[in-house]
Amino acid sequence: MAEAAAKSKKDLDFNQIREQFPVLEQQVNGQPLVYLDNAASSQMPARVADRIHAYHKNEHANVHRGIHTLSQKATDAYELTRKKVQDFINAQHKDEIIYTTGTTDAINLVANSFGEQFINEGDKILLSEIEHHANIVPWQMIAKRKGAEIRVIPVDDNGDIIWDKFLELLSDDTAILAIGHVSNALGTVHPIKKMIAKAHKQDIPVLVDGAQAVPHTTVDVRDLDADFYAFSAHKMCGPTGFGILYGKKKYLDEMPPYRGGGDMIDKVSFEKTTYNITPHKFEAGTPPIAAGIGFGETISFLNEVGMKNIAQYEHELLEYGTSLLQNIDGIRIIGTAKEKASVLSFVHEDIHATDIGTILDQQGIAIRTGHHCAQPTMRRFDVSATARASLSFYNTKEDIDRLVVGIEKAISIFE
């Protein structure tokens, strides 16, 4: 994988890295911005925004269709991102990288295309109890259409998969296991590699929703042996409207196209249409070219910082934040799994999450409140909403200190 250029963590100055994010220099409500909503969307370094602007300013043309210089230049830059993604997640073939508009689009693609080809009446679709809606609703839709059944793997009070229940639910009629790598609402890191190995022993393919994992740790799809892996650019310092579906060729080549239109075709007549090869048969129409090119720059930036360095630094922040929040009277952290990513989801015994978020915003502190597109997770933990502070490598311990002071002020207001 392409991390050779990364420095070791001890040689990195994360304050200097932070300076590459201009948005963090502003004030909100008269206070320096503390941005702790990274699980929803992370911020973009200046060099990525500059690369997108350079395309619009100097290279704007459609891709794949033109023989003129600008089109060729745009196509080369756009397709270079595919190679960068292949290296970043250690895919075996560049053709296993499909461009989508994001994780949601990628999961919908698999649910519809894989589902159309491989899911039959009476089959089981296996999900966990703490999935994002994007990894629930598409499967419900295909299950209804094909006469399949959703089965749910329960989690314990910490937010960890109940392993024995998972094993019990694996069956010969399970068509697919669709599982989040990291819970967006709790930060739980599922034992994905072990789960995939168990599923594969029964020839069950696995889709992994990696939206909350790829921004925070090294992901090697061949080491995991994932059949499908989906993630979004905007959660990893990239542009909105762009994402990736990795899929093994043995499935992609058998799956029908998800959408019809230009660029996904081979020959078209009113009598019959034949389709392009993988991955292009899944990429109908003019794509988000600027976002795709910008995402290539994002990957170069992340490689230079080093995903292992990011994981280590964010783990230090998570431990620091956890220790402080645990000592605030009335605060309860929701999601205490042994393996966690950079999410601090919490409730106060007397104050609604929305009120906490509003008071924090008045102090320039941005968090997310609500059900986090994970209503079944909220029901599992018997809460209507949580306040969620989610960390990135441009955050600091001072940001967490500000968060704690802000929460204590909110509590004092309601006393």
pLDDT value, residue 3? 46
Residue 63 · residue 82 · CB < 8 Å: no
Same domain, residue pair 282 and 364:
no
> What is the spatial distance between Cα 227 and Cα 200, in angstroms, rounded to a whole number?
10
**Two structure tokens written together for 339:** 């393996």
Tell me how many domains the chain contains.
2
Last-in-domain residue among 256, 283, 303? 303
Domain of residue 66, residue span: 50-303
Is there a domain that residue 4 lies in? no
Same domain, residue pair 160 and 175:
yes
Is there a domain that residue 407 lies in? yes
Same domain, residue pair 229 and 119:
yes
Same domain, residue pair 93 and 174:
yes
Is there a domain that residue 1 lies in? no
**Two structure tokens written together for 386:** 């949580």
Residue 381 · residue 160 · CB < 8 Å: no
Transcribe 262-294 into DSSP letters. TTSEEEE-SS-EEEPPTTGGG--SS--HHHHHH
Same domain, residue pair 299 and 311:
no
pLDDT value, residue 263? 84
Same domain, residue pair 291 and 345:
no
Rg (CA), the chain: 22
CA of residue 410 relative to chain centroid, distance = 31
Transcribe 219-231 into DSSP letters. --HHHHT-SEEEE
Is there a domain that residue 295 lies in? yes
CA of residue 201 relative to chain centroid, distance = 27
Last-in-domain residue among 283, 303, 323? 303
pLDDT value, residue 84? 98
Residue 275's domain is classified under what CATH number? Answer: 3.40.640.10
CA of residue 251 relative to chain centroid, distance = 22
Same domain, residue pair 401 and 253:
no
The contacts of residue 3 (CB under 8 Å, 6+ apart) are 218, 303, 306, 307, 308
pLDDT value, residue 11? 67
**Phi and psi of 57, rounded to 5°?**
-80, -40
pLDDT value, residue 381? 97
Is there a domain that residue 132 lies in? yes
Is there a domain that residue 3 lies in? no
Residue whose entry in the numeric block shows the structure tokens 């990429």 = 283
Task: Report CA-CA distances (Å) from 81 to 84, 205, 224.
Answer: 5, 27, 22
Same domain, residue pair 261 and 385:
no
Same domain, residue pair 256 and 354:
no
Residue 338's domain is classified under what CATH number? Answer: 3.90.1150.10
Is there a domain that residue 377 lies in? yes
Same domain, residue pair 106 and 34:
no
N-terminal to C-terminal alpha carbon distance within the chain: 53
373 assigned to active site: yes
**Residue 24, Cβ density class (10 Å: 0-12 exposed, 13-18 middle, ≥19 buried):** middle
Same domain, residue pair 347 and 318:
yes
> What is the spatial distance between Cα 244 and Cα 86, in angstroms, rounded to a whole number?
10
Residue whose entry in the numeric block shows the structure tokens 């441009």 = 394
Report the run of H or E that residue 117 belongs to, with start and end: helix 103-118
Exactly one of 80, 373, 383, 404 is catalytic; name it: 373
Same domain, residue pair 220 and 144:
yes
Per-residue pLDDT of the chain (415 residues; tens, 9 = 90+): 444 456 666 667 888 999 999 999 999 999 999 999 999 999 999 999 999 999 999 999 999 877 899 999 999 999 999 999 999 999 999 999 999 999 999 999 999 999 999 999 999 999 999 999 999 999 999 999 999 999 999 999 999 999 999 999 999 999 999 999 999 999 999 999 999 999 999 999 999 999 999 999 999 999 999 999 999 999 999 999 999 999 999 999 999 999 888 888 888 889 998 888 889 999 999 999 999 999 999 999 999 999 999 999 999 999 999 999 999 999 999 999 999 999 999 999 999 999 999 999 999 999 999 999 999 999 999 999 999 999 999 999 999 999 999 999 999 999 7
Last-in-domain residue among 282, 303, 324? 303
**Two structure tokens written together for 220:** 């090697």
